[in-house]
Structure 1
Amino acid sequence: MTKIIKGIEKHHNILTIVLSGIGIGLIAYYDYCGSVCSYLKGDILGIDLKWIGIAFMAAIIFFAIFKQDFWIRAFLSTGLGVEVYLYAFQIRNEVCCPFCLAFSIIILLSFIINYKVPSAWYHKRSRMWLYFLGEVDFPMFKIQKLPLLLFSLLGYLTILLTFSGSVIPAYGQESNHRVPTFGKGDYEIIMFTDYFCTPCRRIDIKAEHLLKELLSSNKVKVTFIDVPFNKTTPLYAKYYLYAVNADSETDGVFKIRKVLFDAAQGKNIHNEDQLIDYLKKQNISWKKMGEKVVFPMLNAAIIENNINATPTCVIRHSAADIKKFVGDTNIWKGLTELKSQLIKN
């Protein structure tokens, strides 16, 4: 154990650089979206939290390269204060972001690797609580034995006063109306997806045949709700509603969704004129309707079902029989279980 501790102390800068690199990778992966796209977003003074996270880790790497241990400990202590607030934010909003938790663990591990027992503990034990996170010296400012707890409090107070976060996306607000639903039956399948979400596209392709099969049983009705995780999603949702208004047949609906997914992820279209041109090239026709009247209904469904990640599938049989599946793997399992259940019945 002693050898391990000495090894960590000797190579703490290298380990810090590696962990910080992993942290940047986590943020990039979260932004790209692996198996579930979670809607947990925030900013500090208008700057997206992910960019602040990347800048934070880049600063840690910079200080580690030049062996500026006092700056590393100060920054990591500040980061701990920020993470305490973000933990509380997730608990308060009843949402869990695995990537955010992993990022906080990286900060904690980096802090532990760079931790040094404060000398103040040896001189006055009554002040141990003030120095339990350690201390730092800033020779250039002629400051010695500054408690790192102060930096943690600074980080916490800064994000408390400047952070703006959300866990449930929203469309524009207007009057209520009906969201397009297909099929009929006692079972209702509601698919919450975002055209810019990779696993959403994956499950949409994989489940198409199964959903058509369930619809043909006349025991199931299906509703697709576009969740605006991406700022361009409301534009896509509008043309989905337009296209369904022109062609609400099952094959037509799935074709529309495939084309919109291709436009979002294959062509990376964010402009309305470009989207219109692409839809025309794919022979998608549409008929305008009052989409702003439908958007509040989408909001209501998102909030009612507490949707904070995509893809999410809600299967409702009755008020007492509601199942929720998050992630493409779990959704596929839920849909196949429903098929087996319908066959037995």
Structure 2
Amino acid sequence: MIKELRRYKRSATIALGITGIAVMAAYSLCSESCTYLRGSMLGLDLKHLGMLYMGSVLTAGDFGKNAVCAILLSLGLGGEVFLLGFQVMNGVYCPYCLTFAAVVIVLFAMHLERIRPSTAILFAAIGFSVFLSLFSGSATPAYAEETQIPSFGNGPVKVRIYTDYFCPPCHSMEPELEPIIVDLVRRRIAAVTFVDTPVHRETILYAKCFLGMVTGRSDISQILWARSALFKAAEENIRSLPDLEAFLGERGLKYRYVDSSQAFETFGKHLRDDRIDSTPSCVVEGPGGRKKFTGAREILRALTRLGEGT
């Protein structure tokens, strides 16, 4: 395969480079579920860095600078070795990251003949060292603070729903999820806990507002109305507390300050115990044990079956 690609090196480099950029763009949008694997270098998000890097490879390949291209790909290979090791160590695997790594490896194999193996090893080592020194990342959602966590309903089955207000699949799932949750709570099938999961940094602010709006309330319809408003605010990209308070006030929702430290501590414990690494996720815990579901379709199907008693 590599030999065939070498025959059409320039066009193959452009095609694979565009594929790499598309993969990182898709990762930014997270269409099916948002995987929690966050990283940056010198404050620059790795998704953006990946697009800039692949753009540089494209430029070098387009102008026929094969030696430059090989050096860039050697650097990239070293970085990918580090990132693959990071995923293995944390037990969290990002399909977008793995696909991007595969693109880099194939490109590297195509262009390796343009430089000496010793030169490729040297630049790969440099790439690995740069990531080792400058990479800042995490693979488990975590709250900076240590929060009584609100649960709704008193059924025998415990349901924990993990969502992020800035996660598009979570937002699109919510309208279908709401009537199922109402049914489970009102028929006393399940006790439902919403765990706001900070895949996106702004979700911590939204989680505090959610706790401030629902603490002391038990009507599941009001809880879901508050969640719906927060998802709408995230859709409008509201990122400051004054703007968020004003937005919620227009919808008849009042935010009051509550000490969120105990709830955030409990959130963190659930995230670790349930091994949550993407949103939306759901854990159903009952007499039959604990089961974890990921992705909107799988979650909706599982909760519907719970309501049907199957």
TM-score higher than 0.5 here? yes
In structure 2, how many angstroms separate the alpha carbons of the residues matched to 1:69 and 1:311?
Answer: 43
Choose 1 or 2 for highest CA Rg. 1
1:189-200 matches, cutoff 5 A: 189-200=159-170
The Cα of 1:5 is off from its aligned counterpart by 4.2
Distance 1:68 1:146, change over 3 A: farther
**Counterpart amino acid of residue 248 in structure 2:** L
- 1:61 matched to 2:41? The reply is no
Secondary structure of the equivalent of 2:215?
helix
What letter matches 2:154 in structure 1?
K
TM-score norm. by structure 1 comes to 0.85
C-alpha distance in structure 2 between counterparts of 1:115 and 1:55, whole Å: 21
Gaps of 5+ in 2: none
Contact 1:246–1:286 (Cα < 8 Å) also in 2: no
Are residues 1:311 and 2:280 paired? Answer: yes
C-alpha separation in 2, matches of 1:33 and 1:298? 23
Counterpart for residue 172 of structure 1: 144
Inter-partner Cα distance in structure 1 for 2:118 and 2:279 = 45
Aligned residues: 310
In 2, Cα distance between equivalents of 1:232 and 1:45: 20
Identical residues among aligned pairs (%): 33
Contact 2:189–2:307 at 8 Å: present in 1 too?
no
8 Å Cα contact 1:186/1:317 also seen in 2: yes
Question: CA RMSD for the aligned pairs?
Answer: 1.9
Residue 135 of structure 1 is matched in structure 2 by 115
Displacement of 1:167 after TM fit? Answer: 0.7
TM-score by length of 2: 0.94
Structure 1 match to 2:99 = 102
Residues 245, 287 of structure 1: 8 Å contact kept:
no
Q: Is the CA contact 2:149–2:262 (under 8 Å) kept in the aligned structure 1? A: no
1:86 positional shift: 1.1
Whole-Å separation in 2 of the counterparts to 1:147 and 1:65: 22
The alpha-carbon deviation at position 169 of structure 1 amounts to 2.2
Retained in 2: the 8 A contact 1:245–1:288?
A: no
2:245, 2:255 within 8 Å by CA — same for their partners in 1?
A: no
> Is 2:13 the counterpart of 1:41?
no
Q: Which amino acid aligns with 1:172?
A: A
Map residues 1-345 of structure 1 onto 2, 5 A cutoff.
5=3, 8-116=5-113, 135-136=115-116, 146-174=118-146, 177-245=147-215, 247-265=217-235, 267-318=236-287, 321-340=289-308, 342=309
Residue identity in the other structure for 1:296: E
Q: Is the 8 A contact 1:193 1:200 kept in 2?
A: yes
Structure 1 CA distance, aligned partners of 2:301 and 2:86? Answer: 31
Given that 2:280 and 2:295 are in contact with CA atoms closer than 8 Å, whether structure 1 keeps it comes out as yes
SS at match of 2:257: coil
Q: Residues 23 and 57 of structure 1 are in contact (CA less than 8 Å); yes or no, is this contact kept in structure 2?
A: yes
Contact 2:27 2:47 in 1 (8 A): no
Instruction: Give the Å deviation of 1:44.
Output: 2.0
After superposition, give the CA deviation of every residue in 1:202-223 in whole Å (9 maximum; x if it has no partner).
2222111111111122121100
Query: Aligned letter for 1:46?
Result: G
Deviation of 1:247 (Å) = 3.7
Q: Which residue of 2 aligns with 1:123?
A: none
Give, as a single letter, the amino acid of the residue that structure 2 aligns with 1:292: S
